[in-house]
Structure 1
Amino acid sequence: MTNITRRSVLLSSAALATGLGLSRAFAQSDVSATLRLQAFGGDAELAGIKNAIERFNKKYPNVEVVVSIDPISTGWGDYVTKVIGQFTSGSPADVYGTAIETFQSFSARGLFMPLDDFIKANPGFSDFAPSLFEHCAYKGVINYIPIGWNNIMVNYNRDLFDKAGLAYPKRGWTWDEFREISKKLTVKDSAGNTTQFGYEVPNQNFFVQSWFFSNGTSILNKDWTASNMLDPKVAETLQFLHDLIHVDGVSPIPGAETMDNQFVAGQVAMISRGQWIVQNAKANKLNMDIAVPPKKTEEGTIIGFGAYAIAAKTEQPDLAKALVLELTSEETQREQGERGGGVPGRKSAASTEAFLAFPPSAFLYYETLPFAHAVPSPANFQEVEKIFIRHYTAMMSGQETIAAGCQAADAELNQSFARLKAQMGG
């Protein structure tokens, strides 16, 4: 936990309004208080948060912001459990950083403050893509202010494409073209051992979902209230990924560990990841670029993003709103976007020369928003994710057939939704 306080010369109220997009002063600048911020992320996110708090303290020098940051090393399901525990024990934070995977879980329990009026009062939020706010709503009420986001793209090693004499992927490439390219990027030694894989079939829920969307389907129905695992297109998608492994040999069986390090080392030519991988690629001088995922029936990918929310019963709502404005300001978003870890929610912060400099096709991140689907995130997300990934892993390894795995996952998912409905009094 990091305690950050700072006293400095006060900015005028007018300067604050200009810098943060405030429509009115939320609290007296000489107020004394303590705010608790529960954030998530790593070093890049923490550095940006600290700088944002320093700017906040120029206006509110007597407000101490106590920061606790969670690396989400064990998944969003555990984070949901942690946050609900804070509210249950009567010790919630005032401001929460969280992600779309948790939105319904928290909003269904009424943990956070409605922010519709707050958003309307601050026209500076128009800098965000409208679709981000659409994903922030639960039953017509917005509880979250978006920050950085990630959509799954095909990240590829340009040097390996050059070595194989292959043209770089272009918009509109197909599954069949992807498959043939993956074969040509797979290299074996004289003994038949694979020394370079063309692709890593993903081992995580978020990474793999773009494949379903590019085939016009999803593992859940459109309103995330039931399984869609019996859709023939779901089985078709899973069979395609299975065949990349067991028929074409272009990917290993998904294991417990991701293959980011192998990608950086040139042992894997393509992987499905978000913008967070850029930071590591830069550090290792990897000559990589991004491509829109290949399509079967349509262009489609998945988006997940972070956001800030304010506890419904905070004792400092005005100060909390002022802090959120700084945490979501263009300056904060620009700084965090250029450090890596996600695409800034504000288009202005994602249009800077520094952000667009790498990878070469960084402009594609925003170009995918019209066909980017939110990661399926019902209020029982932690159960849904575990059920799906368990059967997905078994199908990819050959322990379950595609047909049996889809049937079993469908039954378990619908049982989970039935429990959720009972818990919510539906």
Structure 2
Amino acid sequence: MIRISRRNLLVSSAALAAGAGLGLGRAAAQSDVTATLKLQTFGGDAELAGINSAIGRFNKAYPNVTVEVSIDPISTGWGDYVTKVLGQFTSGSAADVYGTAIETFQAFSARGLFLPLNDFVAANSGFSDFAPSLFEQGSYKGNINYIPIGWNNIMINYNRDLFDKAGVAYPARGWTWEQFRETAKALTVKNGSGNVSQFGYEVPNQNFFIQPWFFSNGTGVLNADWTASNMLDPKVAETLQFLYDLIHVDGVSPIPGAETLDNQFMAGQVAMISRGQWIVQNAKKNNVNMDIAIPPMKEREATVIGFGAYAIAKSAPNADLAKALVLELTSEETQREQGERGGGVPGRKSAASSEAFLAFPPSAFLYYETLPFTTAVPSPANFQEVEKIFIRHYTAMMSGQESIADGTKTADAELNESFARLKQQLGG
């Protein structure tokens, strides 16, 4: 049974298992239990391929269990995914297992949607292959609700051919904002009419992609514990001004619009973009001679981290089966396949150390080297509101429709109003 729609792919695991030819997985013997599990998750081709393989292994142990997979590409942001999942629970159509990301953790956990998995983690020594910080960031009020999978930290992805053509040295560790600025200028090309035919950089249009600029300046949009706005910090305005100047003073980037410039980067029309490891799969497909660099620093070396994880709904009627499926979905085999295909940096260090994973881009080792100085993407329980408020004012400021002084002040007020509403909703 395969049913495909624009945003969802529904796959019968029984059909997948027939041709999988894979090992038994973590179960010791075949079970005759009959059931259906619903998996709601996210991603693209790399993630789906790894999920299908994991379900194939799961079905070697549970041949009579059908897993229905609905996969969301997150094309409109995590805030919309939160709204979608909350709607599923409200309507009584919740899945059994959810694949989600850190941006949603507090939004879901604060509402008590998922099972605590502390005992499950303690009983499976194989989880020690994950960085402990991932489980810490996947906890809420002492309960582990999320089992980590792949993660992404935003890096500067750059086209080495364009650097070579311009005679510009590849980025070095510890480069500064001003060095970045000069590099972006050198990589911007105009035609005889003065129109830009190649941009040096894409000033990002998405919340996750923007965060390293704030962190590297020792600031953030929210305060440290994600309970209030930090938009009035002068360093926030300084960061926004730097990005604005890249667009309007230096002319190295277009104004951020509704669409990202991934296609333009793949076509050699943009030299540098801020993205995570997920871009690798498209770079390979398009034969882009790409490498990565740590984002430039103002005050310190820094970048943002976001990661995916699996959770089990409290409403799941077959929690033990769901846990068995999660073991396969988070296994080294699954993580290795997804990482090598370009589905994110594997959460398991063993999978991220494979020769295939480290083969491309040439500096792939930097993904893990940045882990000690990453900061989690701000993800409060009202994330869907916070993201929309920030991006609305950010895009207005970057386009010049709103001054940075006015934009930061208005965004600060709206964000704090949102946090006040959240406090009331959660009985704080």
Aligned to 2:4: none
2:182 pairs, out of 180, 183, 188, with 180
Structure 2 residue matching 1:67: 3-state secondary structure? strand
Aligned to 1:2: 11
More displaced stretch, 35-44 vs 342-351: 35-44
Equivalent residues in 2 for 1:4-403, closer than 5 Å: 4-5=13-14, 19-20=25-26, 29-403=31-405
CA distance in 2, matches of 1:343, 1:90: 34
Structure 2 residue matching 1:276: 3-state secondary structure? helix
Which digits, 9 at most, give the CA deviation of each residue in 1:275-322, with x for residues without a partner? 111111111111110000000001111111111000113221111111
How far 1:122 moved relative to its partner? 0.7
How far 1:259 moved relative to its partner? 0.8
Identity of counterpart residues, as a percentage? Answer: 81
How far 1:28 moved relative to its partner? 7.5
Structure 2 residue matching 1:298: 3-state secondary structure? coil
Which digits, 9 at most, give the CA deviation of each residue in 1:377-413, with x for residues without a partner? 1111111011000110111111111111100000000
How far 1:107 moved relative to its partner? 0.2
Gaps of 5+ in 1: none
How far 1:48 moved relative to its partner? 1.4
CA distance in 2, matches of 1:183, 1:131: 38
More displaced stretch, 308-317 vs 216-225: 308-317
Is 1:410 the counterpart of 2:419? The answer is no
CA distance in 1, matches of 2:248, 2:42: 38
How far 1:91 moved relative to its partner? 2.4
How far 1:191 moved relative to its partner? 2.2
CA distance in 1, matches of 2:147, 2:373: 21
Contact 2:39 2:97 in 1 (8 A): yes
- Give the partner amino acid of 1:4: S
Structure 2 residue matching 1:348: 3-state secondary structure? helix
Contact 2:156 2:292 in 1 (8 A): yes
How far 1:374 moved relative to its partner? 0.9
CA distance in 1, matches of 2:34, 2:368: 41
CA distance in 2, matches of 1:28, 1:351: 32
Gaps of 5+ in 2: 1-9
For these two proteins, the number of residue pairs brought into alignment is 416
- Give the partner amino acid of 2:13: I
CA distance in 2, matches of 1:313, 1:250: 51
Structure-1-length-normalised TM-score? 0.94
CA distance in 2, matches of 1:166, 1:75: 34
Contact 2:46 2:281 in 1 (8 A): no
- Give the partner amino acid of 2:11: T
CA distance in 1, matches of 2:92, 2:204: 39
- Give the partner amino acid of 1:183: K
CA distance in 2, matches of 1:164, 1:66: 50
- Give the partner amino acid of 2:59: N
- Give the partner amino acid of 2:383: F
How far 1:247 moved relative to its partner? 1.1
Which digits, 9 at most, give the CA deviation of each residue in 1:345-387, with x for residues without a partner? 1111111111111100001011111111111111111110110
- What CA RMSD, in Å, does the superposition of the two structures yield over aligned residues? 1.7
Cα separation, partners in 2 of 1:28 and 1:92, compared to 1, 3 Å: farther
Structure-2-length-normalised TM-score? 0.94
- Give the partner amino acid of 2:12: N
How far 1:148 moved relative to its partner? 1.1
Aligned to 2:5: none
Structure 1 residue matching 2:12: 3-state secondary structure? strand
How far 1:116 moved relative to its partner? 1.1
CA distance in 1, matches of 2:256, 2:68: 40
CA distance in 2, matches of 1:398, 1:85: 36
- Give the partner amino acid of 1:198: G
CA distance in 2, matches of 1:119, 1:283: 37
- Give the partner amino acid of 1:125: F
CA distance in 1, matches of 2:359, 2:46: 18
Structure 2 residue matching 1:199: 3-state secondary structure? coil
Structure 2 residue matching 1:299: 3-state secondary structure? coil
Cα separation, partners in 2 of 1:28 and 1:312, compared to 1, 3 Å: farther
Which digits, 9 at most, give the CA deviation of each residue in 1:249-289, with x for residues without a partner? 11111111111111111111111011111111111111110
CA distance in 2, matches of 1:159, 1:88: 51
CA distance in 1, matches of 2:402, 2:85: 35
Structure 1 residue matching 2:99: 3-state secondary structure? strand
CA distance in 1, matches of 2:133, 2:272: 28
- Give the partner amino acid of 2:222: L
